[in-house]
């Protein structure tokens, strides 16, 4: 297809169908045809991370956020990627940017808690994880948050 909407749908269907390697090409083409489409960049990031291309995923999520800074899903994925790579300063900067755009989301609270744990800041971790749970953090992250809280020093 030459239509960016059709390409996004095709790539998204392949991604959701468990075929991320086949999703990369149509999603990449969609971002070329319609570089201002935040959804195409977001889904490209999902496909790239699924095929082991974290640098490309990061670039796609950053572009999605540049287009729409209030995309909490792109912000959360970007922060999670940085936490997994132990890039704590980058994760903090991305979290600060999300908060600057008034993104309030239980997943961001959960990631803030994980970041605080990695920085050995138990009081901040406890506050962020509790806030995430109070805001109805979905499973399986809610179970992970409860386990992290249980392991925090008193």
Please state, as a whole number, how many other Cβ atoms lie within 10 Å of the Cβ of residue 114: 23
Are the CB atoms for 33 and 2 separated by under 8 Å?
yes
Q: What is the pLDDT of residue 3?
A: 87
User: Residue 1 — pLDDT band, cuts 50, 70, 90?
Assistant: low
**CA proximity to 5, closest of 78, 13, 74:** 13
- Here the tokens at position 111 are 């990631």
Q: Is the pLDDT of residue 104 over 90?
A: no
pLDDT of 24 strictly over 80: yes
Cα separation, 17 vs 38, in Å, equals 21
pLDDT for 103: 74
Give the pLDDT confidence of 48-103 residue by residue, as tens digits: 999 999 999 999 999 999 999 999 999 999 999 999 999 999 999 999 999 998 87
Is residue 154 pLDDT above 90, yes or no?
Answer: no
Q: What is the mean pLDDT of residues 143-148?
A: 98
- Its pTM stands at 0.91
């Amino acid at each position: 297809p030459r239509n960016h909407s059709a390409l996004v749908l095709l790539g998204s269907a392949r991604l959701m169908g468990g075929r991320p390697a086949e999703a990369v090409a149509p999603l990449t083409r969609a971002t070329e045809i319609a570089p201002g489409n935040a959804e195409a960049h977001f889904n490209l990031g999902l496909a790239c991370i699924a095929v082991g291309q974290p640098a490309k995923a990061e670039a796609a999520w950053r572009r999605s956020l540049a287009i729409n800074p209030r995309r909490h899903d792109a912000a959360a994925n970007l922060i999670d990627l940085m936490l997994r790579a132990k890039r704590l300063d980058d994760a903090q900067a991305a979290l600060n940017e999300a908060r600057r755009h008034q993104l309030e989301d239980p997943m961001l609270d959960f990631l803030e808690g994980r970041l605080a744990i990695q920085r050995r800041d138990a009081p901040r971790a406890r506050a962020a994880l509790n806030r995430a749970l109070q805001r109805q953090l979905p499973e399986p992250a809610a179970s992970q948050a409860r386990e992290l809280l249980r392991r925090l020093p008193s």
